[in-house]
Each structure stands twice: as structure tokens, then as C-alpha cells.
Amino acid sequence: MQQIQLTENIFYVGVNDRRTDLFENHMELPNGVSYNSYLIVDEKVALIDPVEAGFIEEYLFKVKSVLQGRQVDYLIINHDEPDHSSSIAAVMREWPEVQVVGNAKTFPPLEAFYGPIENKKVVAEGETLSLGSHTLQFFMVPMVHWPESMVSYEQSSGIVFSNDAFGGFGALNGGIFDDQVNLAFYEDDMRRYYANIVGKVAMQALKAIEKLGGLDIKMIAPSHGLVWRSNLAWVLGKYTQWSKQESEEGVVIVYGSMHGNTGVMADIVARGAAEAGIKELKVYDIAKTEVSFIMSDIWKYKGVIIGACAHYGGMFPNMTLLTHEINEFKPKDKVYGLFGGMSWSGGGVKTLAKYAEEGKWNLVADSVEVKGAPIREEDRDKLYNLGKTVAEAVKG
């Protein structure tokens, strides 16, 4: 079997998952996802971050193909989440003498998932672990994105094993390294991963970038997505931009419609934004598009316009998850507008406005609520001007 080396004696032993439909059971995976794991073979052998348990046979085959009968001495756990750690029991059964390495916050949740771990080694901030000619140094990055999160830095090669930081959705289609692929293909999946997983802890991510800035980093090896060796400035720049929430010029329009009238309104709003000079316009039907894709574009663009029809005195039900996610992740420095439709009773716009108030949204235009269909010129003008006003605020 052909082995994939990051540098001499450091190997990629990860797997691709193109079977799972929903990451964490709620985010779609049209391009799959990778679970990355790494193996350092020296006087001592260290296995860094195992993979999701459903791929254990493929994983163990890869690891054993490299080891050729040698034992794993250390299992490094940078992050407890089960998409990485769920195969830990299988690894310990395969190599019963392995020492599980983590920090003080690693083991309580890990043992809550998998039971007692007898052979464990607790490491602290800045502590090192010698494997021979390779030395791992550990740095805590709490809340990126769990409390126990840490990264492992191999000093001789300059490789940071960064767990979820700098990762992304998307299976690795032959190319493991950033210089083997078209980065534009992976960028959207990276931003969607960031916006829906790391975005809530953007400030902690920024602190982690600053903490690692003093290291001589030659490669970044995350737990999902590409291994970065040639475009470090690019990926660090993207993560810094997303962590600082530096938006691009564009408008996201999201609507929820039961019978299509609110969708027609969204088209009128979009026309107003386009004629005001916005070229990056994304229009989403909340009933058709899974929320993580919408959140990714909200993270990217400056303007957001949300429309919901009334539903029993409230708003279109599917819109509730999006408004919840916006208030949870709190994308900053956005300009917003609201619209919606009603028939015998209102409630859609009113409910949206309540969420907007709770989220401290920066509303730059009067909300528009249309009774019935947008067939009256007055209503159409209001919707058009809503799009135009938000667009002008984005450009301004």
C-alpha cells in the first residue's frame, strides 16, 4: 500500500467519509468529509487523533501497513469529540500498552464517553514529549471549539497538528495537500465548516492564531480537510478574516413561503439590491436549503434580508432554526432588513423583528409586511426600496 508522508517518518493515515449524509446529524455533507489522523514513527510511535469509529477497519489497516508489526506507544487526543475519538477503544484493544495523552480537561469527558482509561498521561501548557528525534509540544486552545481542545506541535518538522482549527468539510479527492488541489473548490466547504462550528468561538480562534504565531510553522495538519504546506499565508489569512468577521460586499436574502407569495417578494427585494449595484446576491428558500449553507454566506457577506410569511400568528416554522443560529453565533457588523406576508393574520414580520431585537441586529430599513400577494404597486415599491436601502448600506 502506498504510504502518504508529511515528512520523513510522519505519515497521514486518515480516511474519507462519503457515506454520512449529515455531519453532527444536522449539517449536510454533499462533498463528504475526511477524518484525518497522523502517525509519527521514531524510537517511540505516536498516533495523533484517531478517526470516527465506523471507519476503524480501514484505519487500522492503514496504521498497521506503516508500522509493520511495531506497537503504538502514545495515542494523542487533541480533541474529545466523537468524530475523532470514537475509535479510541478499538485502538486500545489493538495496542493494550498504549498511553493515552491529553490535558487535564481531556479525560473527564473522554471517560464519560468510553469508560475508565487506566494508562493515561496528562500534559500541561508548553510541555514536551520526546519520541526520539521528534518532539511533540502541547498548547492549549480552549473553546476551539471544546474546553479541552489543544494542538500538538512537532518541533523538528514544524508541523502543527491543529485538531479542528484550519479544517473544513469535503472529502480529500486524491489530493491530501493544499498544493495538490484547486483551493477554490474547498474554500466554500471550509467557510461553511468555520461558520457553523468555529464561528461561535471566533474570538478564541483568533487568540489561538495569535498564540501559535510565535512558532516556526512549516505545515498545518488539521483533523478534517487539507493538510497545509504551501499556502499557509492563505489559510491563516482566511481564518483571521473569518475570526475578525470582516465581511465582503454582498447580500443574502432568505425567505420562508407557504404558497409562493413571499418568494415573489424576495425576487422584488433582490431586484432592488441588484439595481443598487450589488453583484454578489444569494437568494435562499429556507424550506429547500439546509441552514449551514445559509449561515456560511451570512458569515461571508455584509447584508442580510430575511422574509417570512405568517403562520398561526408566528412566522414560517423553518425560519426558527435560522434565527436561532444567527442569535447563537452572533455574526457581527451586518446590515439587515425584514419583510414578509400575511393573509387573515400577521405575525411573520413581527416575530422576525423580535428575534432581530434580541440579536441586536443593525436594521437599516423599515420592515415591509404585505397582505396577500405583492400585486399592489405600493407594496412592490416598498419591497424594491427595501432591497435598495440595504444594498446602499452595504456599499456605503
Residue 91's CB is within 10 A of a number of other CB atoms, namely 21
Within this chain, do residues 197 and 167 fall inside the same structural domain, yes or no? yes
Tell me, yes or no, whether 165 and 286 share the same domain.
no
- 87-126: pLDDT as tens digits: 999 999 999 999 999 999 999 999 999 999 999 999 999 9
The number of domains in the chain is 2
pLDDT in tens, 363-393: 899 999 999 999 999 999 999 999 999 999 9
pLDDT digit string (tens) for 115-135?
999 999 999 999 999 999 999
CA distance 137 to 115: 27
From the number of C-beta atoms within 10 Å of its C-beta (0-12, 13-18, 19+), residue 223 rates as: buried
Average pLDDT, the chain: 94
The single-letter code of the amino acid at 319 is M
Residue 336 domain boundaries: 251-395
Query: Long-range contacts: 92-97, Cβ < 8 Å, 24+?
Result: 92/117, 92/119, 94/60, 95/71, 97/71, 97/73
At 380 the three-state DSSP class reads: helix
What element of type H or E holds 74?
A: strand 74-76
Q: What's the CATH code of the domain at 257?
A: 3.40.50.360
Cell numbers at 92, concatenated: 486500545
CB 178 within 8 A of CB 312: no
Domain end residue (candidates: 220, 243, 266): 243
Integer CA distances (angstroms), 336 to 169, 274, 305, 320, in order:
28, 16, 5, 17
> What SS3 class is residue 370?
strand
pTM of the model: 0.93
> Same domain, yes or no, for 292 and 222?
no
Query: Mean pLDDT across the stretch 30-34?
Result: 97
The percent helix, strand, coil of the chain (3-state, each to 5) is: 35, 25, 40
176 within 8 A of 220, measured Cβ to Cβ = no
Least confident of 14-18, 90-94, 142-146: 142-146
Same domain for 170 and 307, yes or no, is no
Question: Is 143 found in the same domain as 278?
Answer: no
Q: How far separated are the first and last CA of the chain, in Å rounded?
A: 57
